[in-house]
Amino acid sequence: MYYFIVNPNSKSRKGIKIWKQLKERLIKEDVPFRECITKKAGEATEIARRITKEDKTRNIMILGGDGTLHEVISGIEHISKVFVGYIPTGSSNDFARGMKLTSDIDYFLEHLLKNPKTWTIDYGTTSVTGGQRERFLVSSGIGYDAKVCYLANETKMKKVLNSIKLGKLTYIQIGLQGLMEFQMFHAKVIMDGREIEFDDTLFISVHNLPYEGGGIKFCPDAKVDDGYLDVCVVAGISKKKMLLLLPKAMTGKHVGCKGVYQYQCKKIQIETDQEQFYHMDGEVPGKTREMDVEVSKEGIRFL
């Protein structure tokens, strides 16, 4: 039995069209499945929790964007018993980009039904003061990158640009506009016991995969199955110089530039001198001054 959790509104309502095509093929191929269509934000988490409540093997297929993927992963119980498959139909698709996945239905069915292979990939967990520990698959960050995610999720322009396949411009437009208004902060970071402090910090981004924000390659060397998280810190340079860094980050060429720091660790603790927006896979729960992020020890099985 395959449980399909579908976000019908992903990719400006194209998600439901793709699901209808896939559903017809599943019926034709006589594949046992149940469809779970989400109707509101956060519902995918509750659906995943219900499906995996019992300590039994479950196959969960996700059709949506990075946000839907994040919701499902966060809701899974008995994660060692779950196999996850994914058809990317979002606007950013940073997980699919990092994993080199396609939304092609024929390819998906060929892989799922005739040549199924699984591999265990890492996931990260993020916890903040007064909040619950949540999982992520792509990245988790605090500061400027999280604020851009927050503004992008709130703007109506995102839907318009998504409809004409220019969703990435949402992040670029908001990023450039918001940079000059952003207030830099002081941060204390402890990575696997090693403490470092940063003045005039723009953001701290912790990655399981290279990309975030619709294809910005903040951590080009991040690997999903190496047991480590990759960290990108931008601090200690002027905002004018940061404007030059942003285009370079699209291809990962910011690495090695002044003010860009790259690390690897299994656990990172972050403390800031003022509240900052934080995110997990582009979803922004709110603000915090303290944030702990670590890589999973068990991983999740991916189809």
Q: What is the pLDDT of residues 74-125, one digit of tens each?
A: 999 999 999 999 999 987 899 999 999 988 888 888 888 777 888 999 999 9
Name the percent of the chain lying above pLDDT 90.
Answer: 72
151: which 2 tokens? 């503004």
Could you report how far apart the first and last alpha carbons of the chain are, in Å? 14
Judged on CB neighbours under 10 Å (0-12, 13-18, 19+), 231 is buried
Comparing C-alpha atoms, which of 290, 294, 292 is closest to residue 265?
294
pLDDT at 164: 43
Residue 243: CB atoms within 10 Å: 13
Instruction: Sketch the domain layout of the chain as residue ranges.
Output: 2-117, 125-296
pLDDT surpasses 70 at 200: yes
CATH number, span 125-296: 2.60.200.40
Q: What is the pLDDT of residues 204-218, one digit of tens each?
A: 999 999 999 888 999
pLDDT at 158: 52
Give the chain's count of helices (H) and strands (E). 9, 15
pLDDT surpasses 90 at 295: yes
pLDDT at 141: 97
Name the percent of the chain lying above pLDDT 70.
Answer: 93
49: which 2 tokens? 């929790």
> Average per-residue pLDDT in the chain?
90
Model's pTM, two decimal places? 0.91
User: In this structure, what are the phi and psi dihedrals at residue 241, rounded to the nearest 5 degrees?
Assistant: -70, -30
The one-character DSSP state at 80 is G
CATH number, span 2-117: 3.40.50.10330
Question: If pLDDT is split at 50, 70 and 90, which confidence band does 160 have?
Answer: very low
Contact 90, 64 (CB under 8 A): yes
For the stretch 238-241, contacts whose Cβ atoms lie closer than 8 Å and that sit 24 or more positions apart, written own/partner, are 239/179, 239/180, 239/182
What DSSP letter does each residue of 9-54 carry, written as one string?
THHHHHHHHHHHHHHHHHHHTT--EEEEE--STTHHHHHHHHHTSS
Contact 282, 137 (CB under 8 A): no
Q: What is the dihedral of CA 58, 62, 68, 69, to 10 degrees?
A: 70
Q: What is the pLDDT of residues 33-83, one digit of tens each?
A: 999 999 998 999 999 999 999 999 999 999 999 999 999 999 999 999 999
Which is it for strands 134-136 and 229-235: parallel, antiparallel or unpaired? unpaired
Instruction: Taking residues 278-289, report their average pLDDT.
Output: 95
In Å, how far are 13, 61, 98, 294 from 224, measured between CA atoms? 29, 19, 9, 13
Instruction: Taking residues 271-291, report their average pLDDT.
Output: 96
In Å, how far are 4, 21, 33, 87 from 29, measured between CA atoms? 15, 13, 11, 18
Q: What is the pLDDT of residues 218-263, one digit of tens each?
A: 999 999 999 999 999 999 999 888 888 888 998 999 999 999 999 9
Question: If pLDDT is split at 50, 70 and 90, which confidence band does 161 have?
Answer: very low
pLDDT at 195: 98
